[in-house]
Amino acid sequence: MFSYQDQFSAATKTHFQAQLDLINTLTTKTFEGVEKLIELNLSAAKASLEESAAAAKQFATIKDPQELIALATAQAQPTAEKAAAYGRHLTSILSATQAELTKAAEAQVAETSRKVSALVDEIAKNAPAGSENAVALLKSAIGNANAGYEQLTKNTKQAVETLEGHLSNAAKQFTQAAEKSTGRAKK
């Protein structure tokens, strides 16, 4: 039979390892998200440079104002569509990364919670007579901590959903504005 000190020592070691695992997982997922963002931005920059060079060549051959207007109009619609596509892709990367981070954190918290509850139950079984109040207080504290985490998780999810909604709405408004301006330029 282990002493309480041995049980708490083992529980502390397990909890510390779980925290390190969570930090490693969250760091890995964050870097994967950043890597995707960098890749998106590099692709966008490369495409933009290539398109700018091609447009510069086209603008260099313009001989009258009508050609200038026609070329500017032709450039506006694809640029707006690409900007909207970039916004959608960016939102997709951010949403996927957030979902992976949330999933990893929830799994880790659930596992840690399960282990702590098992430890408290084991301590309760072996607790000396008269310590029922202390065990009940410990269980209550753990329950309150879990309820607090669940509320924090709920609030975080709501904040992320609101942010995603705002990003989506902004992308739609940008696309609509770009379509309107290119529609006017075509007339």
Is residue 120 a part of any domain in this protein?
yes
Is residue 176 a part of any domain in this protein?
yes
Residue 101, C-beta contacts closer than 8 angstroms, at least 6 positions apart: 26, 29, 30
Among 108, 109, 120, smallest CA distance to 151 is for 109
Q: Report how many domains make up the chain.
A: 1
Average pLDDT (47-76) is 86
Is residue 138 a part of any domain in this protein?
yes
The predicted-structure confidence for 62-114, as pLDDT tens digits, reads as follows: 888 888 888 888 777 777 778 878 888 888 888 888 888 888 878 877 787 78
Is residue 165 a part of any domain in this protein?
yes
* Cα separations in angstroms, 69 against 64, 132, 148, 187: 9, 84, 60, 11
Is residue 3 a part of any domain in this protein?
no
Contact of 119 with 7, CB cutoff 8 Å: yes
Is residue 74 a part of any domain in this protein?
yes
pLDDT of 38 above 90: yes
Q: What is the pLDDT of residue 22?
A: 79
The predicted-structure confidence for 120-177, as pLDDT tens digits, reads as follows: 777 777 777 777 787 787 778 777 777 777 777 777 677 767 877 777 777 677 667 6
Is residue 154 a part of any domain in this protein?
yes
Q: What is the pLDDT of residue 8?
A: 67
pLDDT of 19 above 70: yes
Average pLDDT (10-37) is 84
The range of the structural domain enclosing residue 100 comes to 11-186
* Cα separations in angstroms, 133 against 56, 124, 130: 80, 10, 7
pTM of the predicted protein model: 0.63
Is residue 60 a part of any domain in this protein?
yes
Q: CA–CA separation, 50 vs 27, rounded Å? A: 34
